[in-house]
Amino acid sequence: MHLTMKDEILQRFLKANGEPISGQQLADDFQVSRTAIWKHMQTLQQEGYEFETIKKRGYQLLSVPDKVDVGQLKQLLQTDRYGQTIHYFDKVDSTQLVAHELVRAGAKDGTIVIAEHQTTGRGRMLREWESTKGKGIWMTIIIRPTIPPHQAPQFTLVAAVAIINAMKAMFKNFTPEIKWPNDILINGKKTTGILTEMIAEADQVQALLIGIGINVNQQIADFPDELQSIATSVSIGEGEQVDRVQLVAHVLQFLENYSDHYVKHGFQFIKELWEQSSGTLGKQVKATSLREVVEGEAIRITENGVLEIRQANGEIKGVYSADIEILD
Ligand code: BTN
């Protein structure tokens, strides 16, 4: 992966674990002048990294800014493709919109768009998605799987199980659950939404744009009044501040593994993972779609990711896209 010299200098400091590094040492290692190193140090400080200059020993990294730091992310990532190209923004309208432009420009499989803040974040069913600055993960991943268009909805479930298992690997104080099709709940409240958009020809997907919104470090007062009773964050669930860069790296790693597994071996394994983490199956639910309201017991998901509901009269109905309310 190509890192800029500034990123490489940052990596050196992150790996040094608080030990000072001299400007001369860096100048020698990178074969540039000390002035060039000093300029990069200035830029890092403008980006929010705090350094102390220790006489005769050099610069010591004191703190990193609370932002999704691309240098740190690159250092953590062990993926082959996902996150190997990163488009990072302090503010965008929506990472989905940026990703659409990148797809048109030929972006590679695994390219990500990530922002600290979205002014017009988009949710499913044309809703707005609240994207508080610096508190969440607002990210779109461009995936170019060799699958026909009708399999695209399964990929949303691939993303859901990747996020769930990334959370399970990192956090011990809560058990995240999936609410069909792809909301992730902590203690019954929504922490994550997934919006999958597709660009396809008749028989082949060109690109999937998997938009992931994870509420990470919000406290309840950070949510608008109307969301306070239904939304939560990973930090509220875990009871401590969460490292967003680590979470992004985990999500990308699980997503790459599961996507590759799915493309090679099919849906069965993903379906099993989904069922293990489902907070919907076996429950009484009310599914409201544009066409109808279906009430009954959620009994299973099909190979196509369709939720089947057994109504009180015994009739089983498949639901393709709906809002689900869990009744018991
Ligand atoms: C939902 O309605 O549950 C889906 C929400 C998806 C939000 C994410 S945040 C990153 C990406 N950019 C957007 O504008 N939306 C998705």
pLDDT classification of 328: cutoffs 50, 70, 90: confident
Averaged confidence pLDDT in the chain:
93
What is the pLDDT at residue 4?
Answer: 85
Whether residue 59 is predicted with pLDDT greater than 90 in this model: the reply is yes
What is the sign of the dihedral through the CA atoms of 313, 314, 315 and 319?
positive
Query: Which residue's CA is minimally distant from atom 11 of ligand 1?
Result: 211
Q: In what order do the strands lie in the sheet with 316-319?
A: 316-319, 307-310, 293-301, 284-288, 323-326
C-beta separation of 90 from 113 below 8 A: no
Which positions ≥6 away from 16 have C-beta within 8 Å? 61
The residue type found at 151 is: Q
Q: Which helix (H) or strand (E) holds 95?
A: helix 95-104
Query: Which residue's CA is minimally distant from atom 8 of ligand 1?
Result: 213
Distance CA 83, CA 37 (A): 27
Residue 24 CA to ligand 1 centre (angstroms): 46
Side-chain half-sphere CA neighbours of 159 within 13 A: 31
Do you find a cis peptide bond into 181, omega within 30 degrees of 0? yes
Residue 120 CA to ligand 1 centre (angstroms): 10
What is the pLDDT at residue 12?
Answer: 92
C-beta separation of 174 from 237 below 8 A: yes
**187 is written with which tokens?**
């203690």
- Residue 246's nearest CA partner among 87, 78, 73 is 73
C-beta separation of 197 from 155 below 8 A: no
Residue 122 CA to ligand 1 centre (angstroms): 5
What is the pLDDT at residue 290?
Answer: 83
C-beta separation of 239 from 193 below 8 A: no
Percentage of the chain exceeding pLDDT 70: 99
Q: What is the pLDDT of residues 153-167, one digit of tens each?
A: 889 899 999 999 999
- Residue 259's nearest CA partner among 163, 158, 175 is 158
What is the pLDDT at residue 9?
Answer: 94
Distance CA 5, CA 143 (A): 28
What is the sign of the dihedral through the CA atoms of 252, 255, 259 and 261?
positive
Whether residue 75 is predicted with pLDDT greater than 90 in this model: the reply is no
Which positions ≥6 away from 224 have C-beta within 8 Å? 130
Q: Give me the helix-helix angle, 268-276 and 152-170, nearest 10°.
A: 50
- Paired strand residues for 316: 310
**283 is written with which tokens?**
């429950």
pLDDT classification of 2: cutoffs 50, 70, 90: low
Distance CA 66, CA 62 (A): 13
Our measurement of the distance from residue 157's CA atom to the centroid of its chain's CA atoms, rounded to an integer in Å, reads 14
Please list every protein residue whose CB sits less than 6 Å from any atom of ligand 1: 94-96, 118, 121-124, 127, 129, 131, 138-140, 183, 193-195, 211-213
What is the pLDDT at residue 289?
Answer: 87
Query: Which residue's CA is minimally distant from atom 16 of ligand 1?
Result: 211
